């Protein structure tokens, strides 16, 4: 069975934990989009692991972890991640494969990212990792790919062309001195040598694996509403975060996908700027943030917090073709007297039960809520879904009914054992 796992909100849903759980039944775990702007956290025996580029399945022995062609790779970050995990006693030898077609992030991408954000009147809230400028080079057909790092002649040619253009922009627009060819060439040639054994044709690798019935798990990064096409544009990332991106970013045909698992929090969070229809008051938001430790795994930025938005999730279920959902961090709501689920938006006398694409509506609409009683019982030690308080089960059932997808996994803590299956 080949499974796509995708976030249904604005990222940070808890995908890392679900990937870790589903990795047991997969042979290959594949990242298909994004870059080191993602941050997947996995807790094993009390030890926390945070991954930005490596697929979370690396913690499982004998699993092959693939970075697909749709990912943009910062080699320095990847090498540091490999080094760090080796230092913690986990062997990665022969288990990390990188698409030769994946595009490479250079220092000029990061500086461009920062310069553009500084000059914007309305901030996007970029992570500053150079993701957007790297994808822009890809679309402009001037990007440098992982395979190019292994070809000295090609790397020289492409890097010279890029620096000629980028340095002119830096000097004339941003008053930045730019970058020296020799320095970057030497650094990135060295990266190529260090990663040479990992770089390969991952399209053939994965299609051959599927022909042999080896199960593949496609690991999404960010979330549906950060998708470049279907998200709350322009407050989005630069890649296709929806389930269809798994095919685009790996070279696997849509007919080879068996199921789609969507991950949501029991409430809603968002990092950075952009519309957030169910954002809570400052006091309640701070309470949820503190209880749920809602700070970005990549940037450390505090996440904005709000009630569960069923309009948002119903739309995400449709776009992604979700077969089942995992509801994460239910335990964060344990002490609430009552809970709210947004079932519609209201704007200028009109009620929206479907997600609007109009940015003005997204920014100014008021949520319509359905209220539910809280359970006021600690759920972290519960190990069976049927033993959850009836109010908690009622809350989960309401999510299923409104969003039109079954909930098969419920998380009541960060540990592997704090997971309930239905």
Q: How many CB atoms lie within 10 A of CB 176?
A: 17
Using the Cα atoms of residue 359, residue 13, residue 305 and residue 330 in order, give the sign of their dihedral.
Answer: positive
123 has a pLDDT exceeding 80: no
- The residue assigned the tokens 């630069």 is 238
* Catalytic choice (20, 40, 103, 148): 40
Count CB neighbours of 177 within 10 A: 9
Produce one character per residue of 26-61: b if its CB has 16 or more CB atoms within 10 Å, e if not: bbbbbbbbbbbbbbbbbbeeeeebebbbbbbbbbbe
**Could you tell me the two tokens for 110?**
């990061």
Higher pLDDT, 49 or 120: 49
Cα distance between residue 11 and residue 230, in whole Å: 14
Report d(CA 342, CA 368) in Å as an integer: 5
236: CB partners within 8 A, 6+ apart: 225, 226, 227, 228, 274
**DSSP symbol at 170:** I
Task: Specify whether the backbone of 202 is left (phi greater than 0), alpha (psi in -120 to 50) or beta.
Answer: alpha
Q: What angle do CA 79, 81, 83 make, to 5 degrees?
A: 70
Angle at 288 between CA 282 and CA 293, to 5 degrees: 120
Catalytic: 52? no
* 141-162 pLDDT per residue, tens: 999 999 999 999 999 999 999 9
Which value, to the nearest 10 degrees, does the dihedral of the CA atoms of residues 293, 3, 27, 9 take? Answer: -20
Helix axes of 390-403 and 310-320: crossing angle, nearest 10 degrees: 50
Please write the tens of the pLDDT for every residue from 12-24.
999 989 998 999 9
With CA atoms as reference, report the closest residue to 101 among 237, 202, 185, 188. 202
Cα separations in angstroms, 14 against 41, 217, 270, 354: 8, 16, 13, 25
Q: Could you read off the pLDDT of 383-392 as tens digits, one per residue? A: 999 999 999 9
Half-sphere exposure of 22 (CA within 13 A, CB side): 31
Q: Taking residues 63-79, report their average pLDDT.
A: 97
Catalytic entry in 12, 74, 227, 331? 12
CA distances from 40 to 51, 183, 246, 343, 372 (A): 5, 32, 17, 29, 31
Question: In which band, very low, low, confident or very high, does the pLDDT at 365 lie, cut at 50, 70 and 90?
Answer: very high
Query: Which domains are seen in the chain, by residue range?
Result: 3-99+198-261 (3.40.440.10), 103-195 (1.10.300.10), 264-421 (3.90.170.10)
Instruction: Determine contact, residues 306/313, Cβ cutoff 8 Å.
Output: no
List pLDDT tens digits, range 295-337: 876 677 899 999 999 999 999 999 999 999 999 999 999 999 9
pLDDT above 90: percentage of residues in the chain: 86
β-pair partners for 73? 104
- Average pLDDT of the chain? 94
Residue 315 appears among annotated catalytic residues: no
What gap in Å lies between CA 86 and CA 272, rounded to an integer?
A: 33
């Amino acid at each position: 069975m080949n499974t796509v796992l995708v976030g249904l909100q604005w990222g940070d849903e808890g995908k890392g934990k679900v990937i870790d759980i589903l990795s047991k039944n997969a042979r290959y775990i594949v990242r298909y989009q994004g870059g080191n702007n993602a941050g997947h956290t996995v807790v094993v025996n009390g030890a926390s692991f945070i991954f930005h580029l490596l697929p979370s399945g690396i913690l499982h022995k004998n699993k092959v972890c693939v970075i697909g062609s749709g990912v943009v790779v910062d080699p320095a970050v990847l090498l540091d991640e490999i080094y760090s995990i080796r230092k913690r006693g986990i062997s990665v030898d022969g288990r990390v494969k990188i698409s030769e077609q994946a595009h490479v992030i250079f220092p000029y991408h990061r500086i461009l990212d920062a310069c553009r954000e500084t000059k914007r009147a309305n901030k996007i809230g970029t992570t500053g990792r150079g993701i957007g400028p790297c994808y822009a080079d890809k679309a402009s057909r001037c990007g440098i790919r992982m395979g190019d790092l292994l070809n000295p002649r090609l790397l020289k040619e492409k890097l010279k062309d890029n620096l000629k253009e980028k340095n002119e922009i830096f000097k004339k627009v941003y008053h930045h001195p730019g970058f020296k060819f020799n320095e970057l060439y030497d650094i990135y040639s060295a990266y190529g040598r260090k990663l040479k054994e990992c770089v390969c044709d991952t399209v053939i690798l994965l299609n051959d694996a599927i022909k042999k019935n080896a199960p593949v798990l496609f690991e999404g990064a960010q979330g549906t509403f950060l998708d470049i096409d279907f998200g709350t544009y322009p407050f989005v990332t630069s890649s296709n975060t929806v389930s269809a991106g798994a095919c685009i970013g790996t070279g696997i045909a849509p007919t080879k996908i068996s199921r789609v698992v969507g991950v949501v929090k029991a409430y809603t969070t968002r990092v950075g700027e952009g519309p957030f229809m169910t954002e809570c008051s400052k006091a309640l938001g701070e309470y949820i943030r503190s209880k749920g430790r809602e700070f970005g795994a990549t940037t450390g930025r505090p996440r904005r917090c709000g009630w569960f938005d069923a309009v948002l999730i119903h739309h995400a279920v449709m776009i992604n073709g979700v077969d089942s959902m995992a509801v994460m961090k239910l335990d964060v709501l344990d002490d609430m007297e009552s809970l709210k689920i947004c079932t519609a938006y209201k704007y200028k006398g009109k009620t929206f039960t479907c997600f609007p694409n109009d940015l003005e509506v997204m920014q100014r609409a008021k949520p319509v809520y359905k209220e539910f009683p809280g359970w006021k019982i600690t759920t972290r030690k519960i190990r069976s879904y049927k033993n959850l308080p009836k109010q908690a089960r009622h809350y989960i059932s309401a999510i299923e009914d409104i969003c039109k997808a079954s909930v098969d996994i419920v998380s009541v803590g960060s540990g592997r054992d704090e997971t309930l299956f239905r």
